Amino acid sequence: MNVDRTLSIIIGIFLIIGFIGIAYISSTPYEVDNFTEFYLLGPDGTAGNYPTNLTTGETGKLTVGTVNHEHSNTSYLVKITKNNEILKEEYFTLENKQIKNMPFEFNAGAEGQYSIKFDLYKLPDTKNVYRSLFILVNVR
């Protein structure tokens, strides 16, 4: 009889500990990472085969992709520059998990090597770049 009572007390203690654990896990907020995907796709829609070797006057085509994983509506600015000259600026707002693929075409221009930079700003901050990408383009 004494063994049965001891086992019942031990089982009761474990049940109480289990319920406390479940209550703690249920009441603790789940932390998730907030981030934004920012990427470039080549003309064939893949992450590669970028137009990095062009001839004078040829047009390069890219897709600039942004995916919101911030868990709230977020406003962005994409600023595209070539050797510090602004080629394009676009403001947009994305809902959580929404994707924006922005087609971008550029003219190769004169011979030389150019850096095309893609800066993503998370608004309202337009001073600090949130994400940045670039490609080097050789024009012959």
Q: Are 59 and 106 in contact (CB under 8 A)?
A: yes
Backbone angles phi, psi at 47, to 5 degrees: -80, 75
pLDDT at position 110: 85
Give, in order, the Cα–Cα distances in Å from 26 to each of 19, 20, 21.
Answer: 10, 10, 9
Query: pLDDT digit string (tens) for 2-18?
Result: 878 888 888 889 899 99
How many CB atoms are located within 10 Å of the residue 87 CB? 16
Please provide the distance, in angstroms rounded to a whole number, between the alpha carbons at the two ends of the chain. 95
Residue 20 clears pLDDT 80, i.e. is over it: yes
